[in-house]
Chains A and B, each alone.
Chain A
Amino acid sequence: MSTSTGLEQDAVRAEARRGLLIGLPAIATLTVLFAIPLIIVVAYSFGTRTRTGRTDFSTLDLSAYQRLADPLVLEIVSRSLGYALLTTVICLIVGYPFAYHLATRTPRVRAVLLVLVMLPFWSNFLVRTYAWRVLLGSDGPLVRLLGALGIDDVVLLFTPFAIVLGLVYGFLPFMVLPLYAAIERIDHTLIEAARDLHASGWGAFRAVTLPLSRSGVIAGSVLVFIPAFGAYVTPELLGGSRTTMLGSYVVRQFLSARDWPFGSALSVAILAVMLLATTAYFRTGGRSL
């Protein structure tokens, strides 16, 4: 540092200034659309609900946070965790072979397959979820097919099965794309080398492909798990009794219960858990790479 000339220091400073200037739009956007709303949510979480459902800020306390230990909240949280984990695992099991297949095709085939992965995004997510209602309905093709196979009286719609199916359907592309990016980057000669050294196909996969694609596994899992944990549309449309997930529970606090402090406290708690979980996940993932 002390050996650098004044000219060099000037260059470094100019660089820093330019960096700040370039980053300004992003910083401004994040401040206005993320930081300030977040502060408002945190502020609300310390208020108390008035009789008519307004928020009273005259007595700031932690009463909203105390309710987080409620058995009902814990039940909904563990249910959401369960559905989200199941969704992530299924997406990984379904998405990995597909991403592998995708990454090992010729560029032309790959382009077509990638478009197919993106295709669902061209129509509205809400509309596609409503379509599942028809497909899973008691008069729908799936139930009829099962009936024809001699399996009668199956209820698919409004069940946990419908929710997880809807979540997997909705978030699968978020798993496939990072996996594809990671697998595609792998130097294929390494796998050939492993096979030359008498590794079985499975052995080469475990020793070479899987470790090298770990960054994709981590990114895909996080990208699926986080939105699945807070999902709102899918459980609202496909879920039934006893399937309330966190997203719906938070919305209910803001609308029907008009309990903004508790809704805010829930949101802050979810955010904190997410932050901790993903940090831990990235850390452990990073170390073992």
Chain B
Amino acid sequence: MRTSIRTAAAIAALTLTAAACGDDSSAGAPAADCVAGQTDGDLLLYNWNDYMDPDIIADFEAEFGVSVVEDFYPENEEMLARVVAGGAQYDVVVPSDYMIEIMREDDLLLPLTRSAIPNIANVDEDFTDPPYDPGLLFSVPFLWGTTGLGVNVELLGDVEPSWALVFDPEVAGQLPGRILLLDDARETMGAALRWLGFSPNSTDEAELQAAADVIEAAGEWTAAYNSDLYADLLISGEVVVALGYSGNFLDAFGDDERFAYVVPKEGATLWTDNLAILATAPHPCTAHTFLDFILRPEQGARLTNYIYYPSPNAFAAEFIDPEILEDPAVYPDAETLERLQFLQDTGETEILFTDLFTRARS
């Protein structure tokens, strides 16, 4: 008995040491020594589901004589969990803005060698100094978009774009069981904070509590919290208003005029998904070359034409379908742009966001 306890203790100690070592090894990776157009092996790309035009991959493979091995994830957190756990090796990942911040802090990302990415000059000036990665030292923007509301306009008619559609008892309360919110603490709490007139990046406990109260009250008429099927549930008629990401809605709606995507007048989230190279990337030079390739205006435009998310590439516009460029749901007008804001890492408050949201929705 005593021996077995000792064995168990030894294994536990080993586990702890291993975990502790894992933390130490990431003491800031040195930049890679690469030049523009250099390749050092096949590219291991870890990307979101349905987030790449296969023709772009084919062109990259043909031009540089390497293969691209793709693997997919459905959410940032799953990508992070897999990268932190190690084992699977990847060169390039596609984290959202706030995830860049988290991964940078844990030294998971390779500082970019800018001379190997001359096309970084093509990035629109709105995205060259984002709060999650000032000066683009670790990431380049891939696509951007907004978080707003998908609305069944056939049933609701022309509605005023406002968070009242999901939070106001007078409006949303008339649609019991027909409202859907994201299963995402920052987005859904952020929407409630905006509805109350606060900043989505608030760190004030009272404001956060008030937002949580709004979400809890909305439980009366909220059908579900869902982050991946919201567009389908809206189209199938299960819900009539859903909180979600612009591109997914627009892609799902197609030409169907029964549905519309709106950015609420109180303001909404501006987000980016970004290309970043992992500190542990086996082929950092191919990775740099890939980032540079995606930042070519034609490739950025192809991506937008394929996925319906706006491009952060300043010179892509001439290659983008005019129909997409003129669609205010894809490319918000100047006035709407003013009201968009990044979600920023709130440090210690992150836990409070998750905690209050879980509480409110349960």
Residues of chain A touching chain B, judged by Cβ–Cβ distance below 8 Å, are 36, 39-40, 42-43, 49, 51-55, 57-58, 72, 75-76, 137-139, 155, 157-158, 239-242, 244, 249, 252, 254-259
Contact = CB atoms under 8 A, between A and B. Distances in A.
Contacts of A51: 105, 347-348, 350
A158 B347 contact: no
Given A72-B358, A259-B351, A138 B102 contact: no
Interface stretch (B75-83, B121-129, B320-328): B75-83
B156 interface: no
Interface in B234-255: 236-238
Interface residues of B, number: 40
Interface of B: 8, 11-12, 15-16, 19-20, 23, 75, 77-78, 80-81, 84, 102, 105-106, 176-177, 183-185, 219, 222-225, 236-238, 347-348, 350-351, 354-355, 358-359, 361-362
22 contacts: A39-B15, A51-B105, A51-B348, A52-B106, A53-B80, A54-B23, A54-B106, A57-B19, A72-B362, A138-B237, A240-B222, A241-B222, A244-B358, A244-B362, A249-B362, A255-B77, A255-B81, A256-B183, A256-B354, A257-B355, A259-B351, A259-B354
Contacts of B238: 137-139, 157
Interface of A is mostly: loop
Contacts of B183: 256
B74 to A, nearest CB: 10
A76 B359 CA distance: 10
Given A241-B223, A241-B225, A252-B358, A42 B185 contact: no
A239 B15 contact: no
A257 B81 contact: no
A55 B22 CA distance: 11
Contacts of A57: 16, 19-20
Q: DSSP majority for the B interface? A: helix
A58, A75, A138, A249 — most chain B CB neighbours (10 Å) = A138
Nearest to B77: A255
Nearest to B75: A255
Contact of A42 (B12, B184, B347, B361): B12
Contacts of A256: 77, 183-185, 354
Contact of B351 (A42, A49, A137, A240): A49
Contacts of A43: 12, 15-16, 19
Given A39-B15, A57-B20, 9 more contacts: A52-B102, A52-B105, A137-B236, A155-B176, A240-B222, A240-B223, A257-B354, A257-B358, A258-B77
Contacts of B80: 53, 258
